[in-house]
Amino acid sequence: MANVIVVGAQWGDEGKAKVVDLLASHADACVRYQGGHNAGHTVEWQGRRFIFHLVPTGILRPEVRCFIGSGVVLDPEALFTELAGLEAMGVSSRDRIRVSYRAHLILPYHRLLERASERRRGAARIGTTGRGIGPAYEDKVGRRGIVAADLLDGDALRRKITANVARVRRLVEAEDLTAEGEAALDVEVLVASMREHGEKLAPMLADVSLELDALARAGRGLLFEGAQGTMLDVDHGTYPHVTSSSCVAAGALTSLGIGPRRVDAVIGVSKAYTTRVGEGPFPSELEAEPAAHLRRLGGEYGATTGRPRRCGWLDLCALRYAARVNGLDALALTKLDILDSLPEIPVCVGYRLGDRVIDEFPPAARDWYAARPVYEVLPAWSRPVAGARTAESLAPEVHGFVRRVEELVGAPVALICTGSDRDDIVVPRGSILRDLYPNLD
């Protein structure tokens, strides 16, 4: 069985969940490796909409075991709220999820720190999801974080919470210490609630690296579910306008404690256009009115925060960059149907920087803002993509679009999503997915 990483190739929200949901039906385990409940992975199935924040999307497949690895930052309250919501929708999940002992926890004071930090930045704010993700990763790297295993050790838990609360009090300002702020800094309240969460979490805790290794040795198929996207990666994204984890494929290895030889393929997911939430550079971003049109067509509002997403054309230079830094074996292209009604389909093939034209995503922040997109305009589809399920039913212009993407990105397109339903999918002939998953059809 194949071990496959599914990674976002843009700024997140590429439609990874739909790809993961499909591949999970051929895998034994589905694993989240980074990020936290800043993610919003959406699957539509039989008229119902499931939005996953922390729980791996594979949970919708009853036979799949799910793991939350060491590189994830876990808000226990968010996890239990999500599990209760899933159970209410008839998806039993608690006994199929294992959480790493080493996963770092998000406590209420992380949200307080984040609010203070964003306010202090003013116009230079990141536009975060407000979930406490960044401050939890800061505590991890600062070697003062609280990990899931600490929930089982009352003394360690109290000691760490006490020290961290004292530190946070020094950092936040008087205006943060509203009643809500004070509750987030009350040691007794925090210890009591974390112990309560610990009791519920204890049966789910596991040595995730060891369990994944055992599954891989037994020939089971592992599916690694990336969150956010390459351009939000803390090392390779548009820093500092990034999230605080390693979203790229290599992040799966360090975050889970598995070796690179375990991975058979890396699939990058990209929309047929581009969106971004939060602040930061976006060279192929559209002006307000055309962006609003694309947003309306694509329903581009954040699945976690509800914020309107910024919209623009597909940036093939950024996508080729993503193919390089992830070592993509193939691309999955999503939301092609959203372009159905457009009179033409521009794609960004280079950037004008002063009197130069370049075709690589620049390495320096100054150029991300200065870069003006150079577009190639591809023809409109002569019949709609929506709902197509075979390559033969796609218009010739769609095949032309796919070929151009493949040429400029340097990776084959292994999957095309043609609508919001779970089954609105085309797997082109020769797709690597057929080699990885012989029963795909």
Active centre residues (catalytic): 13, 41
Q: Which is nearer to ligand IMP, 230 or 431 (CB)?
A: 230
* Rounded Cα gap, residues 419 and 266, in angstroms: 23
236 binds ligand IMP (CB under 6 A): no
Closest separation in Å from C-beta 126 to ligand IMP: 5
Tokens of 412: 């084959």
* Count of residues engaged in binding ligand IMP, rule: CB under 6 A: 19
Shortest separation between residue 130's beta carbon and ligand IMP, angstroms: 7
Shortest gap between Cβ of 69 and ligand IMP (angstroms)?
A: 17
Residue 238 to residue 270: CA distance in whole angstroms: 17
Closest distance to ligand IMP from the beta carbon of 411 (Å): 22
Write down the residue that tokens 């996890």 correspond to: 79
Instruction: Burial-class residue 199 by CB neighbours within 10 Å (0-12, 13-18, 19+).
Output: exposed
Q: Which of 375, 378, 324, 323 is nearest to 352 (CA)?
A: 375
Tally the C-alpha atoms within 13 A of residue 169's C-alpha that lie toward its C-beta: 11
In sequence order, which residues have a C-beta less than 8 Å from that of residue 136 and are 6 or more positions away? 36, 73, 104, 105, 106, 107, 110, 145, 244
Q: Which of 1, 9, 10, 13 binds ligand IMP (CB under 6 A)?
A: 13
Given candidates 10, 93, 100, 228, which one binds ligand IMP under the rule CB under 6 A? 228
Instruction: Decide if residue 38 touches ligand IMP (CB under 6 A).
Output: yes
Please report, as a single letter, which amino acid is at residue 181: G
Contact residue for ligand IMP among 2, 232, 385, 402 (CB under 6 A): 232
Q: How far is the CB of 359 from ligand IMP (least distance, A)?
A: 26
Gap between the Cα atoms of 176 and 330, Å rounded = 47
Nearer to ligand IMP, 185 or 227 (CB): 227
Task: Using the minimum distance from each CB to ligand IMP, give the nearer residue, 13 or 28.
Answer: 13
Q: Which one among 277, 317, 331, 436 touches ligand IMP, defined by CB under 6 A?
A: 277
Residue type, 159: R
Q: Residue 345, Cα to own-chain centre: how many angstroms?
A: 26
> Cβ 333 to ligand IMP, closest distance in Å?
18
- Give the contacts of 18 (CB within 8 A, at least 6 positions apart): 42, 43, 334, 417, 422, 425
Name the H helices within 122-186.
133-141, 154-171, 179-184
Q: Which residue is nearest to ligand IMP (CB)?
A: 278
- List binders of ligand IMP among 334-373 (CB under 6 A): none
Nearer to ligand IMP, 198 or 237 (CB): 237
Closer residue to ligand IMP (CB): 232 or 318: 232
Residues numbered 91-150 forming contacts with ligand IMP, rule: CB under 6 A: 126-129, 131, 133-134
Cβ-based neighbours of 264, under 8 Å, separated by 6 or more: 2, 3, 4, 436
Q: Please list, residue by residue across 20-57, b when 16 or more beta carbons sit within 10 angstroms of its beta carbon and e when fewer do.
A: bbbbbbbbbbbbbbbbbbbbbbbbbeeeeebebbbbbb
User: Which residue's CB is nearer to ligand IMP, number 59 or number 345?
Assistant: 59
Answer for which of 34, 243, 246, 270 binds ligand IMP (CB under 6 A) is 243
Rule CB under 6 A: which residues touch ligand IMP?
12-13, 38-40, 126-129, 131, 133-134, 227-228, 232, 243-244, 277-278
